[in-house]
Amino acid sequence: MRNTFAEALYREATANPDIYVVVADISPAGNMARFATEFPGRFINVGVAEQSMIGICAGLALKGCRPFAYTIATFALYRPFEMVRDDLCYQNLPVTVVGMGAGVIYSTLGGTHHAQEDIAIAGAVPNMQIIAPCDPAECMEATRWCARQNVGPVYLRIGKAGEPVLTGTAEPWVFGKLRYLRRGRDVCILTHGCIAKLAAEVADRLEARGRSVSLVSAHTLKPLDREGIAEALRHHPSVIVIEEHAPLGGLAAQTKEIAWDVQAGCRLDAFTLQDRFIHNYGSWEDLLDAHGLSVEQILARVA
């Protein structure tokens, strides 16, 4: 996904001289190196200094530029949080904060590198928009949108590498709207980000058991497509949320709020990261499994 992000950003920068990327000591994967070589004046490495990364992006945007702040999710959002809040959100500037490797993708690096609660934190701040693309193709669309939008700050939550394409035959990507990757009648699975891969496997297994399944990428977490979610709750007897985020303030929590608001009559199951630090190591799948997020654990609860 990060390579796709770099590819999309490079393309946008070729056409728009106001695109800057301000990175905090992160290795330039894929076309990011090409960006740095071809546009050296617009590729700024602040080093290990994330507060200045955000402040500099704010200054660039105050002068009409379209900057992207780019580093590992925890360091992009948590370390410089007051700069994100005051410089970007309070001033409502079109800066994209790219949180790479969000969730527990850095599965062997421990809690310092896990962005488990980033959507809740970013989403609590007025003016902030949040996008979590579910695959590289969606990441391409989202990056392009971020480069061209003039609305305000965006937290773009992306994965790292190796995510499969899930949206090949899906309907077009539209900011702020749910995107159905497949449509069914019995069950609706709402998901976002890299864990969409696991959600797709759950959908496959449910279909193998004869259920008709909708699979939805809720890529825009803020503003959330509340109307779209209300409709999904109305039209499916069972709705399942699968997300790689803490139970507080993410898609699952908000779906429950909406379900109450619309007095939804469907069954609603939520599968999220737990509200605790997991001191386990291993693969990304191992970490998710330790939090209760595996195909088998999910199927055991919804079957």
Partner 1 sequence: MSSMTRHAEQFDAKAARARCRRYRRRILDISQKVPALHIGGAFSCTEMVDVIYNALMRRRANGAPSPDTIVMSKGHGCIIQYVILEHLGVLNRADLDAYCTPTGRLGVHPDYGNPGIEASTGALGHGLAMAVGMALAERGRGTGGIVYVVLSDGELQEGSTWEAVLMASSLGLSNIVAFLDNNDFQSLGRTSRTHPTFYPVSDKLRAFGWEAVEVDGHDGAALFSAVAHREASCPLMVVGRTTKGKGVSYMENEPIWHYRSPSPEEYRRAVVELEATLQ
Sign of the CA dihedral running 103, 197, 261, 302: negative
- Say if strands 129-131 and 220-222 run parallel, antiparallel, or are unpaired: antiparallel
Q: Report if residue 12 touches partner 1, rule: CB under 8 A.
A: no
Name, in order, each residue with C-beta under 8 angstroms of 244's C-beta and a sequence gap of 6 or more: 102, 103, 104, 193, 194, 195, 272, 273, 288, 293
Nearer to partner 1, 60 or 156 (CB): 60
Q: Report if residue 55 touches partner 1, rule: CB under 8 A.
A: yes
Backbone φ/ψ region at 193: left (φ over 0), alpha (ψ -120 to 50), beta? left
Cβ 51 to partner 1 shortest distance, Å: 4
Nearer to partner 1, 63 or 279 (CB): 63
Q: Report if residue 152 touches partner 1, rule: CB under 8 A.
A: no
Taking CA atoms, 131 is separated from 105, 222, 289, 302, in Å, by 17, 7, 24, 28
Q: Which of 6, 21, 23, 60 is close enough to bind partner 1 by CB under 8 A?
A: 60
What spatial distance separates the first Cα and last Cα of the chain, rounded to whole Å? 32
List the interface residues with partner 1, window 14-53 (CB under 8 A): 17, 20, 41-42, 44, 46-47, 49, 51-52
Q: Which of 57, 128, 147, 224 is close enough to bind partner 1 by CB under 8 A?
A: 57
Among the residue ranges 2-10, 58-66, 164-172, 235-243, the one whose residues contact partner 1 (CB under 8 A): 58-66
Nearer to partner 1, 85 or 291 (CB): 85
Output DSSP code: residue 262: T
Name, in order, each residue with C-beta under 8 angstroms of 195's C-beta and a sequence gap of 6 or more: 103, 242, 243, 244, 288, 293
List the interface residues with partner 1, window 180-219 (CB under 8 A): none
Nearer to partner 1, 58 or 218 (CB): 58
Cβ 80 to partner 1 shortest distance, Å: 8
d(CA 159, CA 153): 19
Q: Report if residue 90 touches partner 1, rule: CB under 8 A.
A: yes
Output DSSP code: residue 112: G
Cβ 294 to partner 1 shortest distance, Å: 41
d(CA 51, CA 56): 9
Nearer to partner 1, 76 or 194 (CB): 76
- What are the structure tokens assigned to 111, written together? 């809690």
Nearer to partner 1, 56 or 221 (CB): 56
Cβ 20 to partner 1 shortest distance, Å: 8
Residue that is written with structure tokens 């077009």 in the block = 172
Q: Which of 86, 269, 285, 286 is close enough to bind partner 1 by CB under 8 A?
A: 86
Q: Report if residue 59 touches partner 1, rule: CB under 8 A.
A: yes
- What are the structure tokens assigned to 11, written together? 């393309």
Q: Where are the beta strands (DSSP E) in 172-253?
A: 179-182, 187-191, 213-217, 220-222, 238-242
Q: Report if residue 64 touches partner 1, rule: CB under 8 A.
A: yes
Cβ 273 to partner 1 shortest distance, Å: 30
Q: Which residues bind partner 1 (CB under 8 A)?
A: 17, 20, 41-42, 44, 46-47, 49, 51-52, 54-65, 67, 82-83, 86-87, 90-91
